[in-house]
Amino acid sequence: MQKFKNLSRKKKIRYGILSVLIFYLVYVIISVTIPFANPPKVSEEFKQSVNLNAFYSDTISVDRAAIVETSQDALDVRIHMINQAKEKIAISSFSIKHDRSCKEIASAVLAAANRGVKVQILVDGLTGNIDMGSDPIYYALGTQENVEIRYYNILNLLKPWTANGRLHDKYLIVDDSLLLLGGRNISNYFLGEYNTNVLSYDRDILVYNTAAKTSRNDESVLSQVWSYFETIWNDKMSEPVFDRVPRYKNNKVSKAYETLGSIYQDLKTSRPQLFTEVDYVPLTVPTNKVSLITNPIHIMAKEPHIWYQMAELMKNAEKRVYIQSPYAVLDSTMYQDMNEISNKVPDFRMLINSTAGGDNVMASSDYTFNKRKVIKTGVQIFEFQGEHSMHDKSILIDDDISIIGSFNVDMRSAYLDTEVMLVVHGTEFNKQLESYMYAMQDKSLPVHEDASYGTNGNVIPLKISTGKKMLYNITSAVFQLFRYLL
């Protein structure tokens, strides 16, 4: 104590600041990790509420569906859908950037709002601040009379636990007619072909409600998605942004408004097909039923509602289960479920990125460490060796159930983030999804029990760089301390 009294005033201030910083750092580490280290199990109440028969139907539903596979189609479909809007649009995304594809979509949104369409845009609050920042384009949108933009769960540095519980949903709803839902964020990395050197393979499902504006409208899955969107939109964690323009940005926002108008006119000239009326019936296939499954929307550790329902459906399979996911980061419950599926289902496969090709350092690090544990579940793993990293999230169950959405087979999707998946009952759609998944398997290599590769025609394994390999040797062990956040 006497030693502290003898310190100069400047040193005391430095000591005090350092003490506060150390205290805050400890506070952050504890707040971000401890509350999420032991996530809740699925409650008996929720288990009792799940009826697997509810995902099936003996009759044709009002919903027709199709897969949107290529990045260019994914961009074009989004713009075309927005151009078809008459009354309302909802966009929900984990990330929206400010590159060319984003500007094209923003130009279509602005044009829709100018013709009287109500537009609601919901973005994750952490990535929104990073990716959208204070870009004048989003002020041009957000201050338009018919547009409102909100962030979900904005990071609060005084409440570090808000760093978790991200909005990972990705979908677009237009009126009561069209829904596009999948794994794509809004950026050139997923949409269009503006940078073919840096792309990610991904997948969306397009749903067309044939009963829009009829007495059967509520039978469509769109009513479920609209209800879910409104619930999270009106949640206390969703806050308006870009609704007021700072004075110093007035000129930039005015120019951004003009830029969006110019981009929209360019689209009309260069891609007129995006502005024509389309009959979606011949572009889609019939389904027996389409159902939405979601996670809880609070920001703390969640019961794994989506994983539980998908696991139960997979355990109920008679012939095959085929999972496609960018990553495989499993906890004890998920390992157990995978073991049960393997014991019950004759053909159980999983297609994931190789560590050489994957774009997620944390997930690839964990897979490096736990690869043999995943193999021991009995699932036949295929590792993708394609030109780009793949980000698809899909499941085939037998020949009639398909699941597509935003959910990665990892602990973050299971226990931390909001997620959306569509469960589709229908053989034609299942065949369509199967063709795309097997096309990617043709560019993959099977993994043996000893973790070595088998052969698959002329497929050559990707080579992991020396730097990446050295990094994973370190991070694969370090990340085990907090792998429940990966």
**pLDDT tens for residues 438-478?**
999 999 999 999 999 999 999 999 999 999 999 999 999 99
pLDDT at 431: 99
Contact between 361 and 475 under an 8 Å Cβ cutoff? The reply is yes
Residues ≥6 apart with Cβ < 8 Å to 401: 55, 56, 313, 317, 395, 423, 424, 425, 430
Q: What number is the average pLDDT over the span 399-416?
A: 98
Pick the CATH number of 63-275 from 3.40.710.10, 3.40.50.300, 3.30.870.10, 1.10.3720.10: 3.30.870.10
Please indicate whether residue 418 or residue 484 has the higher confidence score (pLDDT).
418
Does the pTM of the predicted model rise above 0.85? yes
Q: What is the pLDDT of residues 46-66, one digit of tens each?
A: 999 999 999 999 999 999 999
CA distance 387 to 296: 36
What is the pLDDT at residue 154? 98
Give residue 197's pLDDT band: very low, low, confident or very high (50, 70, 90). confident
Q: How far apart are CA 98 and CA 104, in angstroms?
A: 10
Tens of pLDDT, residues 81-115 = 999 999 999 999 999 999 999 999 999 999 999 99
Q: What is the CATH number of domain 44-55+288-485?
A: 3.30.870.10
pLDDT in tens, 316-352: 999 999 999 999 999 999 999 999 999 999 999 999 9
Q: Is the pLDDT of residue 196 over 90?
A: no
Confidence of residue 2 (pLDDT cuts 50, 70, 90): low
Nearest Cα to Cα of residue 152 among 129, 131, 135, 136 = 129
| Domains 44-55+288-485 and 63-275 alike in fold | yes
171 pLDDT higher than 70: yes
Domain ranges of the chain: 2-36, 44-55+288-485, 63-275
- Of all residues in the chain, the percent with pLDDT exceeding 70 is 99
Identify the band that residue 8 occupies on the pLDDT scale cut at 50, 70 and 90: confident
For position 6, what pLDDT does the model report? 57
**Average pLDDT over every residue of 24-46:** 96
